[in-house]
Structure 1
Amino acid sequence: MKYLPIDKELFTYNRNNFFLRLKPRSLAIFHSNDEFPRSGDQSFIFKQNADFFYLTGIDQEQSILLLFPDCPNPLYREVLFLRQTSELIAIWEGHKYTKEEAQAASGIKTIFWLDNFDNILHSIIHYAENIYINTNENDRYVPGVEYRDLRMFKQLKERYPLHNYLRAATIMRDLRVVKSDIEVELTKKACSITRDAFVRVLKFVKPGVAEYEIEAEIIHEFLRQRATGHAYNPIIASGSNANVLHYIDNNQVCKDGDVILFDFGAEYANYNADMSRSIPVNGRFTPRQKAVYNAVLNVMREATKLLQAGTIWNEYHDEVGKIMTSELIGLGLLDKTDVKNQDPTAPLYKKYFMHGTSHHLGIDVHDFASRYKPFEAGNILTCEPGIYIQQEGLGIRIENNILITDGGNIDLMADIPVEADHIEDIMNS
């Protein structure tokens, strides 16, 4: 891992909160993510299962967490199983956790090698009534490949069919959405690295530069500051490319007079930033580009005010839609009479702003959370309105990351240039 060590108290705190929500005589099992093949003899870079990392701080493949707070044998109430290293593994793959290092990272005292898992589980599972299984229940996820937790669950159910199997995800959904102080600081670090990459880009962009050259500047700054890399595939969309919401080709030349829409963020210690900005290739917005830019900025600022504890998801997005409609009328893109007569189930603003305004942010970029639970203190959400005008070859999106607190909200990206004039000043300095 490139990032600096994280205080193990975070993971001890997370496990204790998980314990409090378990039914009596319950055992829970969490697996690390699979290693996915990239080619005939290579795997993709390993990415840890978010729930497993949340509870352990262990960033390594082939690992299992077993939690059984009511276990009659205290030794097995928290157990971490790791892949045992060897001289061969050390030569070909590098260093793996020692037991002592895993204890220091996770706060878990009982560490065994992976080949002890079946025997230890069998020796204690009959003293449990309930077994919590971890599954991916993020409603943005559509499974196409059976993942490790599901495969292991099938084996477990065959061996121990009479236990009561429960979903760990219902607990994790409530826990992960509320960020602790340490999690907030890790997110701030990801935002800080993202800021520096953006400022670097502002000083680099000029007519004739390629989108992929800009991408190279971004990843240079990320890695230089110990980020793992991109939180997600970066979008560097110049001109009409900005009207493709998930444009990631990043292979075109940026032309004089166009605007570039950026959507990128750093991943640091598995926590993510998610930023969008739009800048003029030549360092100066045209009057029309600036008008659209300022309209989006106004929507973002008004929407940010609505991100408060107690706000309801659907009501929030409805209110943002009204704000956006007003701005689109001001830009001459919508007609007041047409808006008055519109079908409320298909509002006209969706022609120019077709995606949601916010999503939860955390270990997952689109973090695990309920769409039906009011926002609460400790939530971190994006705020990312946009206006996309295909006939003008123009797309503008502005996005910051907002922490909700009991005293209001805090913009974690408040120090990232966002005013049109400020962006122009930096580009022309």
Structure 2
Amino acid sequence: MRYTPINQSFYKKNRDKLAKALEPRSLVILHSNDLMPTNADGTMKFRQNNDLFYLCGIDQEDTILLMCPDFPNEGMREILFVKETNEHIAIWEGNKLSKAAATEISGVKHIRWSSEYGTVLQQLMGYCNHILLHTNEHRGAHNAVETRNTRYNKKVKDAFPLHNYERLAPIMERLRSVKEQDEIDQIQRACDITEKGFRRVLDFVKPGVREYEIEAEFMHEFLRNGSRGFAYEPIIGSGKNSCVLHYLENNQLCNSGELILMDVGAEYGNYNADMTRTIPVNGRFTPRQKSVYEAVLRVKREAVSMLRPGVLIQEYQKEVGKIMESELIELRLLDKMDIKRQDPSNPLYRKYFMHGTSHHLGLDVHDVGSVFEPVEEGMVFTVEPGIYIREEGIGVRLENDYVIGKDKNLDLMKNIPIEVEEIEALMNY
């Protein structure tokens, strides 16, 4: 692996927390993600199932974790199955994890080869009553592709139809939403790598470059600092493209007088950064661009001060909307009289600010975590207001990542330039 792994004590602690949340005679069954095909004999880069990774730290395909914390035989309470290597695999793919290496990473003492899974499962099912299976229940998930967990869920239900099957997802959501310090350290590393990429780009951008050239500058810096690349598909939108929220083509020429909106983040050790910055192509904001930019920055500062323990995200979003409303009036984009007559269920500010302000961040960029429960200390959120004026070709979004603290929030991107004067100075030194 190219990243520094978290100590096995972190994964042991996570499994202990899960075990305490289970009913007596419960069995957790959790499979790795598939190695996904492309075409012919091609495959995509492997990306581990995040719940499995959170519980054992194993970053390899064909991995299975079984947990039955109160099984009479201690050797059957935690079992990790890994892919058995052979000479052919070693020649073509390199060595896979040995049993000793799997224990060193995960802290699981009892390691078996994946080929033994069926036999062990048969023994455990005879003892257990509650079977917890993995499903992707993220509110934004489409689940159009059947996962390895889904396939094996069907198999175990067919083989053992009279057991009580339950959902693992709600428990994992609660556990993963509040971050341990080890996780915050990994996210901080991802943010620091993102900073390096952004500073490189500030020195590179000038009129005449193409959006994909900027993307390449980020990727160069990410890879050379131990990241596997972008945490998500990067958005590099110049001019009118800055107003397209999920613009991904990244193929247009960047012209003098335009803004470039860059929504990018590095991953590190499967944890993610999520940053947005908006800069002028020629290194100088126009007066109008500066006014919009500073309005977004003021909203961002207010939002950070409001995103505190005990807050409900829905109420927080409404309050951020009111602040944005005032800024849009000052920018002469909204009129006070029109606001008085607006439909409260569809406020006028949404014409220029149509997305949410914050989301959970962690192993997933849009990480698991309830938006219906109060914000808690130790959660990590983005704060990312924006103003998009399509008729003027001006799109500005600013985004940092924050750990919710007891007394104040910790800005994981505090060292990444965001003030107008600093950005202009770095682009024109």
Pairwise CA distance, 1:204: 0.5
User: Structure 1 CA distance, aligned partners of 2:252 and 2:93?
Assistant: 37
User: Structure 2 CA distance, aligned partners of 1:94 and 1:216?
Assistant: 28
Matched, 1:16 2:16: yes
**Which letter maps to 2:120?**
I
User: Structure 2 CA distance, aligned partners of 1:5 and 1:231?
Assistant: 17
Match of 2:242 in 1: 242
The 5 Å alignment of 1:178-257 reads 178-257=178-257
Match of 1:81 in 2: 81
**Which letter maps to 1:186?**
Q
Deviations 1:74-96 (A, max 9, x none): 10111000110111011111221
Deviations 1:318-370 (A, max 9, x none): 00000000000000000011011110001000000011001000000000111
**Which letter maps to 2:222?**
F
Match of 1:97 in 2: 97
Match of 1:363 in 2: 363
Matched, 1:295 2:289: no
Pairwise CA distance, 1:244: 0.9
Matched, 1:55 2:55: yes
Secondary structure at the counterpart of residue 53 of structure 2: helix
Secondary structure at the counterpart of residue 219 of structure 1: helix
Deviations 1:287-306 (A, max 9, x none): 00000000000000000101
User: Structure 2 CA distance, aligned partners of 1:243 and 1:283?
Assistant: 20
User: Structure 1 CA distance, aligned partners of 2:379 and 2:161?
Assistant: 38
Pairwise CA distance, 1:141: 0.2
Pairwise CA distance, 1:216: 0.6
Secondary structure at the counterpart of residue 309 of structure 1: coil
User: Structure 2 CA distance, aligned partners of 1:360 and 1:124?
Assistant: 35
Match of 2:128 in 1: 128
Secondary structure at the counterpart of residue 203 of structure 1: helix
Pairwise CA distance, 1:284: 0.2
The 5 Å alignment of 1:276-355 reads 276-355=276-355
Match of 1:393 in 2: 393
**Which letter maps to 1:147?**
T
User: Structure 2 CA distance, aligned partners of 1:386 and 1:92?
Assistant: 48
- After TM superposition, the structure 1 stretch with the greater mean CA deviation from structure 2, 301-310 or 1-10, is 1-10
User: Structure 2 CA distance, aligned partners of 1:143 and 1:101?
Assistant: 33
**Which letter maps to 1:303?**
A
User: Structure 2 CA distance, aligned partners of 1:143 and 1:124?
Assistant: 29
User: Structure 2 CA distance, aligned partners of 1:124 and 1:189?
Assistant: 40
Match of 1:119 in 2: 119
Secondary structure at the counterpart of residue 123 of structure 2: helix
Pairwise CA distance, 1:5: 2.4
Secondary structure at the counterpart of residue 55 of structure 1: helix
Pairwise CA distance, 1:124: 2.1
User: Structure 2 CA distance, aligned partners of 1:280 and 1:124?
Assistant: 61
Matched, 1:41 2:53: no
User: Structure 2 CA distance, aligned partners of 1:370 and 1:142?
Assistant: 17
**Which letter maps to 2:266?**
A
The 5 Å alignment of 1:252-267 reads 252-267=252-267
**Which letter maps to 2:405?**
T
User: Structure 1 CA distance, aligned partners of 2:91 and 2:213?
Assistant: 35
**Which letter maps to 2:92?**
W
TM-score, length of structure 2 as denominator length: 0.99
Structure 1: segments with no counterpart, 5+ residues: none
User: Structure 1 CA distance, aligned partners of 2:130 and 2:24?
Assistant: 8
Pairwise CA distance, 1:150: 1.2
User: Structure 2 CA distance, aligned partners of 1:228 and 1:128?
Assistant: 40
**Which letter maps to 1:91?**
I
Deviations 1:189-210 (A, max 9, x none): 0000001100110000000011
Paired residue total: 429
Match of 1:273 in 2: 273
**Which letter maps to 2:417?**
P
Alignment RMSD: 0.7
Pairwise CA distance, 1:34: 1.0
- After TM superposition, the structure 1 stretch with the greater mean CA deviation from structure 2, 110-119 or 399-408, is 399-408
Deviations 1:113-142 (A, max 9, x none): 011111111122111111110111101101
Secondary structure at the counterpart of residue 81 of structure 1: strand
Pairwise CA distance, 1:228: 1.4
User: Structure 1 CA distance, aligned partners of 2:268 and 2:186?
Assistant: 7
Match of 2:152 in 1: 152
Pairwise CA distance, 1:40: 0.8
Pairwise CA distance, 1:103: 0.5
